[in-house]
Structure 1
Amino acid sequence: MSEIGTLAAVQRAGADALTQVGAGVHTRVFFSAGEASGDAYAAELASRIGEARPDVDLEGVGGQLSQGAGVHLVASSQDWGAVGIIESLKVVPQVWQGYRAAVAHLRRGRPGLFVPIDYGYLNIKLCRQARALGWRVVYFIPPGSWRRTKQGADLPGLTDAIITPFSWSATMLQEMGANAHWFGHPLRQMLKQVDAPAVRSGIAVLPGSRHHEIEHNLKAIAPALKGLNVPIRLAPAPNVTSDEVAQAWVRAGGGECEVVRPARAA
């Protein structure tokens, strides 16, 4: 399958699905993104679907980027990111509260298009609820899509379509009976939209989007960069404040640096 543009493909798929669920009748698109990366994808998708169908209501679970793209948030996933059992257990109450809010919202009004993005712990459960309520489900970046040995066994029965960033994932899902598609990785398209300087210098430090991993990563990165006579620039994720990253850098023993971020995430 050729790489024609993941975001453009979702834009078209979303418009087609919306036509089928009822054009012009209080049509809804509900996104569900549990982490910073998913929030960035949701923002791009919301912008593109909104361009194709300006009459839709954009709703969902996400962070400040999707909210800035016009998505009405029923729950904020700003601090849901976690790695490891202990850290994951800490966010369970927040995620559970968000799940209940999302289900309550899905039950209101006319069903539309449900777009879960990765974050299988929450989104597989929401897929089941959405399907039972009559929503069409287009899973964008299914959980575990990077694996070359297996894909989620329950995905074919829970989705109307799946858009995955990896060709092998699409092939495996198709063999399982899913309506799966690969159009390339969305990050490649998103990077083309960034105005990067022609000449680059220094070292960019991207410590992560999960609060606990920022602390751990910078404790390893800061000592490794000591003594290098080059500019160091810290780039916080959209869900993390500049002050949080700067303070973590200082605690890690880091030297002089500049904190930079895209204008829309400032």
Structure 2
Amino acid sequence: MVAGETSGDLLAGLLLDGVHARMPDVQAAGIGGPQMAARGFDAWWHSEKLAVHGYSWELVRRLREILSIRKQLRQRLLVEKPAVFVGVDAPDFNLGLERDLRAAGIKTVHFVCPSIWAWRANRIDKIRAAADHVLCLFPFEPALLQQHGIEATYVGHPLAAVIPMEPDKAAARARLGLALDRKVLALLPGSRSAEVQYIAKPFFAAAALVRAQMPEVQVVVPVVPQHWQRMQQAVREAGVQEWVQLVQGQSHDVLAACDCTLIASGTATLEAALFKRPMVISYRMHPISWRLMRRKQLQPWVGLPNILCSDFVVPELLQDAATPEALAAASLDWLQAYDQQPSKIAELQARFSALHHTLFRDTSALAADAIQKLMCR
């Protein structure tokens, strides 16, 4: 198995639950993170090695190391010939590897259909060459893949089973030490190094503007362990250390506890939607990376909640539009709506509840069943 970065590690960990339930003696190894390790996964490399932000400078700086890891992994797998290879997301790394392994007779599964419906539609040929089977998180994806001769199974989104239909805000606030009678703004600038670099600073500046308008607002930031010191430094440099609360991990508690989240585009936005929380989606990256990605965008939306609802149900402020002033204004709109426009909050929560029911499946079991059938051919 190969899982890239935090979200892939989470998905792979849940997948391993289903695999071990069906096939207790299966051994899993490759590239993974702490969630996989907790299920007995043998990580030859840590998933953080594959966490690259956009194109251009970030990728160029680390390309040699990443290519070296893929070469070493390919050589080892071609010798050991596992019963099946599962690439979890990280398509730029996994699809080429899967293609080579499949050509050598090793069965391959790609878990998470690349977003060919959002951007980079030309990836369909790579997927066809790489994967014996694709496990899809969203219900419309299998039919799209099957049109191109690619076997696929809708397994639901595992986060829909992990996150409760009715999150307990009071309990989450108690665990985090947050007051029950004050609004909470959660900042989630992302888990990659470059996201901390490009996104954290405008998020902190926006939070300061929100606090100027609503001094009682509590601001909390979940931080992955490997970025703890860096985020502490960013908080000090922004001059917000007196009132920003950093917590290690606990992103689900933070989302359950908050009234609104200012959040980087990515899987975390879907988590926020499943927690039924209003959000402002944002993203910033190196300007060259932004221009390259923008040209390949196929839909008007970037955030997963908006894509899945086919509507701008929450605001998106990207790149140059992601100024502290704009981010603060959009966040204040949600925070003030609880008192001034409660129907606006209720309508959003209803749409997110419907989305939750659509994505809720026994993902671990369905994915493990598809993998077992492929292994038994």
C-alpha distance in 1 between matches for 2:12 and 2:157: 14
| Aligned alpha-carbon RMSD (Å) | 2.7
Identity across matched positions, percent: 26
Shift of 1:208: 0.5
Matched residues, number: 234
User: Which of 89, 99, 105 is the equivalent residue of 2:76?
Assistant: 105
Matched residue SS, 2:109: strand
Question: Residue 93 of structure 1 aligns with which residue?
Answer: 64
Shift of 1:109: 2.8
Note closer, same or farther for the CA distance 1:241–1:219 as it changes in structure 2 (3 Å cut).
Answer: closer
Where in structure 2 are there 5+ consecutive unaligned residues?
A: 174-182, 253-377
Shift of 1:137: 1.1
Higher relative helix content? 2
- After superposition, give the CA deviation of every residue in 1:166-205 in whole Å (9 maximum; x if it has no partner): 2333221110011112232222223239985446551211
Question: Residue 227 of structure 2 aligns with which residue?
Answer: 241
Matches within 5 A, 1:122-161: 122-147=93-118, 150=121, 152-161=124-133
Shift of 1:69: 2.3
Note closer, same or farther for the CA distance 1:254–1:80 as it changes in structure 2 (3 Å cut).
Answer: farther
Matched residue SS, 2:195: helix
Question: Residue 170 of structure 1 aligns with which residue?
Answer: 142
C-alpha distance in 1 between matches for 2:118 and 2:79: 36
Question: Residue 57 of structure 1 aligns with which residue?
Answer: 27
Question: Residue 121 of structure 1 aligns with which residue?
Answer: 92
C-alpha distance in 1 between matches for 2:49 and 2:119: 30
Aligned residue identity for 1:204: A
C-alpha distance in 2 between matches for 1:207 and 1:263: 14
Note closer, same or farther for the CA distance 1:63–1:93 as it changes in structure 2 (3 Å cut).
Answer: farther
Shift of 1:113: 1.3
* Paired residues of 2:84 and 2:107 also in contact (CA < 8 A): yes
- After superposition, give the CA deviation of every residue in 1:17-49 in whole Å (9 maximum; x if it has no partner): xxxxxxxxxxxxxx1112221111112212321
Note closer, same or farther for the CA distance 1:246–1:122 as it changes in structure 2 (3 Å cut).
Answer: same
> 250-259 or 99-108, which moves further after superposition?
250-259
Aligned residue identity for 1:177: G
Question: Residue 189 of structure 1 aligns with which residue?
Answer: 161
* Paired residues of 1:145 and 1:164 also in contact (CA < 8 A): no
C-alpha distance in 1 between matches for 2:119 and 2:144: 9
C-alpha distance in 2 between matches for 1:136 and 1:259: 43
C-alpha distance in 2 between matches for 1:52 and 1:264: 30
C-alpha distance in 1 between matches for 2:103 and 2:18: 27
Aligned residue identity for 1:119: A
Question: Residue 218 of structure 2 aligns with which residue?
Answer: 231
Note closer, same or farther for the CA distance 1:54–1:93 as it changes in structure 2 (3 Å cut).
Answer: same
- After superposition, give the CA deviation of every residue in 1:79-136 in whole Å (9 maximum; x if it has no partner): 4322231111122122112202211221233431111112121101110122123221
Scaled by the length of structure 1, the TM-score of the pair is: 0.78
Aligned residue identity for 1:211: S
Matched residue SS, 2:239: coil
Note closer, same or farther for the CA distance 1:263–1:225 as it changes in structure 2 (3 Å cut).
Answer: closer
Matches within 5 A, 1:196-235: 196-198=168-170, 202-226=184-208, 227=211, 228-235=215-222
C-alpha distance in 1 between matches for 2:41 and 2:72: 15
Matched residue SS, 1:235: strand
Q: After TM superposition, where is structure 1 displaced by more than 3 Å over at least 4 residues in a row? A: 148-151, 192-201, 261-265
Note closer, same or farther for the CA distance 1:192–1:138 as it changes in structure 2 (3 Å cut).
Answer: farther
Matched residue SS, 2:43: strand
Matches within 5 A, 1:13-24: none
* Paired residues of 2:96 and 2:130 also in contact (CA < 8 A): no
C-alpha distance in 1 between matches for 2:105 and 2:165: 35
Which structure would you say has the larger Rg?
Answer: 2
Question: Residue 262 of structure 2 aligns with which residue?
Answer: none
Question: Residue 15 of structure 1 aligns with which residue?
Answer: none
User: Which of 246, 252, 259 is the equivalent residue of 2:246?
Assistant: 259
Question: Residue 78 of structure 1 aligns with which residue?
Answer: 48
* Paired residues of 2:102 and 2:130 also in contact (CA < 8 A): yes
Scaled by the length of structure 2, the TM-score of the pair is: 0.56
> 213-222 or 72-81, which moves further after superposition?
72-81
